[in-house]
Amino acid sequence: MSKTFRISYVNYNSVYEIYSKEVYQSDMYGFVVIEDIVFGKNTSLVVDPSEEKLKTEFANVKRFYIPAHNIIRIDEVDKEGVAKITSSDGNVKQFPSGNFPIPPSSNNTEK
């Protein structure tokens, strides 16, 4: 059985909830990589407009990067659910971004 992850994150003034098979830390400092997005199967005639919007938004996306401070939570779940976009209604605030120092490495040492 393959793993499925539910990722909730803030994008502008909305909370996105998506399902994915791959989630890992990026080589780019401060980003999380999301791959293999999974959408629910349409077994009924009722169409969820927020899921359709997400399908359109991520139609040709192989992989995308989310800033770590935008992620609300990541859960490993038994099966995928319905992806959705909801309004944050002022209850969810984005973590303040600014000048976060990049840890030193052999590639970016300053002299």
Please give the C-alpha separations between residue 13 and each of 28, 50, 57, in angstroms, as whole numbers: 24, 14, 16
What would the pLDDT profile of 44-77 be if each residue is shown by its tens digit? 556 667 677 888 888 888 899 999 989 999 999 9
| Residues facing 19 on adjacent strands | 6, 38
Distance CA 34, CA 57 (A): 14
Name the residue ranges covered by the structural domains of the chain: 4-87
pTM score of the predicted model: 0.71
Radius of gyration, CA atoms only, the chain:
16
CATH of domain 4-87: 2.30.30
Residue scoring higher pLDDT (12 or 107): 12
Predicted pLDDT of residue 77: 92
Distance CA 96, CA 18 (A): 23
What would the pLDDT profile of 33-43 be if each residue is shown by its tens digit? 999 888 766 55
What would the pLDDT profile of 76-99 be if each residue is shown by its tens digit? 998 888 888 887 776 655 555 565
Question: What is the average pLDDT across 10-38?
Answer: 90
Task: Decide if 100 contacts 30 (C-beta within 8 A).
Answer: yes
Distance CA 65, CA 23 (A): 10
Round to the nearest angstrom and report the end-to-end CA distance of the chain: 50
Distance CA 47, CA 37 (A): 19
Predicted pLDDT of residue 60: 87
